[in-house]
Structure 1
Amino acid sequence: MKDWFLNLKIAQKIFCLSLVFLVLLMFMALIEIFFASTKILIIIVYALAVIVSLSSGILIGNTVSKPIHNVVKNLEDMSEGNFKIKTLKTDATDEPGILLGTLNRTLETLREFIINVKKSADNVYETAREIDITSEHTAEGAHQVAISINQMAIGTQEQAVSATKILEHITEMDNTVESISNSLNDTVKLSEKTNTMAVEGQTNSENAVEKIKQIKGTFSHVSRNINELGQFSSEIGLIVEIIKNISSQTSLLALNAAIEAARAGEHGRGFAVVADEVKKLAEESGKATEKINEMIRLIQEKTSQTVHTMEKTVNEVADGVVIIEKTGNSLREILNFAHTTNENIEKISHEVKELVVSSSEVLKMAENISSITEESAASSEEISSIVEEQTAGAQEINASVQDLTNIVKELKAQLEKFQV
């Protein structure tokens, strides 16, 4: 570039000198035509022509070469990266002036361009650095998200398995609740039957109390009658004792009569027969009274035993009355308890029916949750795959941003060579 401008400068000077020389020759030719007779004048004119040509050449050379020299110097500075040079002012409208103005505009344009490029490079560098940091964080975050989503996918799969197990348990619970409902229905029926039986038992207990009281009264009456019978037996014993005494006396009288009949001889034989019969009758009466006495003794013993047994039975009946009354009270309490239990069972049955309905709804919800969980597990796997792809993309972006950062660094290093 420097040699080219130097050659241009020399060519311009030669061109200007040649032009001046040609003008002088033409002028001299004209003078020679008009003043051919005067050689001195020719010499003077020739000398003046030479002086004018030299002056004109020097003037034209300076006028043309100085702007070109300045342009060359500025271009040399610009080629070395120095754009701090001042613009060259000129008002000329010729080619050197136009060239100088064009150079000034080019210098300003390049200076603004380099300044803008530096600013843009700084901005791009800062942006690239921030993007680099952000992309690193994004890559790390995407990696963490991928890990989290992978864990979430595993957790979702476990939740799906748990949801399936929960669904199975809820199904079993639903069956159990339905079985409980059926059992409660049977229990309600049994409770109603128990209530009816308790009412019947209470009625029977009250009737038994009345019957036992009647039996107690009957036993008391029988005991009194047996006591009276014992008293009658005692009185009969006294009468039998009297008869026994009479029989003994009769036997004694019969003996005396036999003795007297024996004394009387033939006249007392009939009386002896009568006495003998009386004796036999007295002996039979004695034997009969002994048997009666023995029977009365046995009757008195049996009566005494019976009275003792009856008294014991009456006491036992009285105890039985107390026990049956207690049983009646217990049956009344059982009846009240059964009534309360029946009401509670009916409430529980109603609640269990509602629980059956709720259990059916829960079963449907569990089925929906299980389905949703399975879909979520599939979606989590898809999301995990997508996030892994995004993580790989983020890593590629991070690598690209790092390359861009290096390029911008190199660009800044190149731009630092330009002084603006």
Structure 2
Amino acid sequence: MFRRMKIGVKLALSFGALLFIFAAVGGLSWVNMNSVRTEADALAEQYVPESNMAGDLLDSIKDMVYEIRSFGDTYDKQYSDAGNTFAANARKYLGVAGEHAAKYPRLVRLREDLPKVESSLDEYAGMMKQTEDAVNGIFELRGAADAAARTFVENTGAYYESQFKLMQEEIAAEKGPDALAERLSKLKMIDALTEGGNAARLDNFRGQALRDMSLIERAIERLKGMGKTVEEIRKVTSRKENLDQLDKIQKAADDYRASMERMLTAWRGLDELGDRRDRAGISVANIALEVQQAATEATVRIADDTVSSLGTTILFITIAIAFAVLFGTIVAFVMTRSITSPLRRVQELAARARDGDFTFDRDDFHIVNRDELGAMADALAEMISVQRDMIRDLKKKSVHLSAISEETAASTEEVTTTTSEVAESNAKLAEQTRSGRANAVESSKVMLEMSSLIQIAQSLAANADKNSTGMASAASEGSETVVKTIDTMESIKDSVRETEELLKQLDTYSQRIGVVGDTITGLADQTNLLALNAAIEAARAGEAGRGFAVVAEEVRKLAEQSQDGAREVADLVEKILAGTNSAVASMRKSREEVEEGVKIAHVAGEALNRIKTAVDSSVHDVRRIIQTTDEEVAKSEKVIELIDATSNVMENTDDHVQNLAASMEETAAAMENVATGSQEVSETAEELKQMTDRFRVDEDEELRANARALPAPRS
């Protein structure tokens, strides 16, 4: 069955099997990759956000615990506000995590732990409120203690001042030593009481700052001992004002001590609350951490499963590809061998046919398949059989053709010899005729060229005559123009010289004007001095010289105007002198250039006269050349006519000779073609015989016998 299949069907089945293998591998890979994609989507949409939410929740809880702890230590309101903000953020993250857990049923651990986190967060929030209340209570107790301390300080100070004032009065009244000693004793006791209060306050402040309860307890003990001191002072005090002050001092000390005792109790309660709050914070942080760790573990587990699934898929694909490659190699080997073996046998038989061996048939191919290779073997066997029959016929006909071609070649050789002799004689005559005609044509060309050159020379001479006449006229006009130019340049030179003299006179006059301007300036200066002297004299004369002073002022103004006018005239004269000097220099340069132009014009006039003389001589010579060329043109035309007649006769003769030569050449060519054809036929027959001799067929001996029976060709 396999042998009856076509090659295309075999290849289709083989490639179909490979495609089926790859399709199966692709399908299984798609299933695994789809599972991996599902897990990756779950990882990206569920577990990674869960881990991020748990991390945000844990960070918010840690920040909340840190801020509230700082608030419990420092009582700074900004820490409390920050803690409440982080608590609100934690509740927001709890809400987001709850929505996320409700959306994805696989997040079981998140749904179970969120209520625990929320409960612990509520408990911690309650402790935060208790902490704020305790801190506010401590602030209130501090305020009450500060108020009691102010009352204590005010009254001890007032008592001390009153006793000090009374002591001053007693000293002024020269009381006895006993009275002064009693007053001094009161001052010392109130001073000791003040120092004890200050020491108690200092212990209180240090205890709160250092968070040392022993210092606060010592301050309370100090305040308890103040009652005895107050009673001792009260025993020696008689004034109503001072007794009231002692009552206030005692009450302030008791109030301060009571505030400190309550503050100490609140402080201890706050510390205990801080411990419980820290434990609650650690608990809620641990629960949030467990949620985050659970999300991380789920993420790692899914990632490990995904990697494992990918590894399995890659291993499966690798095995499938290896199997497909092995299967494809086997199929390719079998298919290639089933094709190449018959083709190799066909190649061997084709090589035998190429070498001329046609003694094989269909059975020698050894191809039993009924596919394309079997059909090819059938066709090749049939082709060999047909070619074998054709070669037999060619061998017979080539022998006969060779004999006929040899006879034809012998006959055409004689005709070709005779035709060649006639053609050689005719060729010599044609060559001589062509040579004579070529010489005549060449002579005609030379005469034509000479005639053309003579005519060109005649035309050029006529143009030269015309141009020379024009040049003579132009030279005459140029000579006259140069004479006029020389006269004009001489006139310009005289005008320039006169202008230069006038400018020199103008320069002299301008210099004289400058001298006059200087004189006017000097007169104006002197007039100004005289007017100044006159004004001085008029001032000395007083009322009588007032009119003279007015006149002197007017004279001074006129002198100033004259001075300004003279200055303007001097400026103008200076500008005129500068312009005049420039004009004199320019006119001097113009005069020199005009003199140079006059010299050049004289030289040009002399050159034009020489040109005119040369042109007149050229005109005479050119006219003689024209006469001579007219005679030569007439002679050359006659010679050309004679040469043309001779050339026509030789051309007719050459045409007849060429026609005869053409006929002979055609005859010779025809005979040569016949001889060549006969020779080619003979050679072709011989080659065909040689070609067919190398082929091996069944009837070789019979063909040789027929060849020996044919008559021999004529020489």
TM-score by structure 1 length? 0.50
Using CA pairs under 8 Å that are at least 6 residues apart, name the structure with larger relative contact order, 1 or 2: 1
Which of the pair has more CA radius of gyration? 1
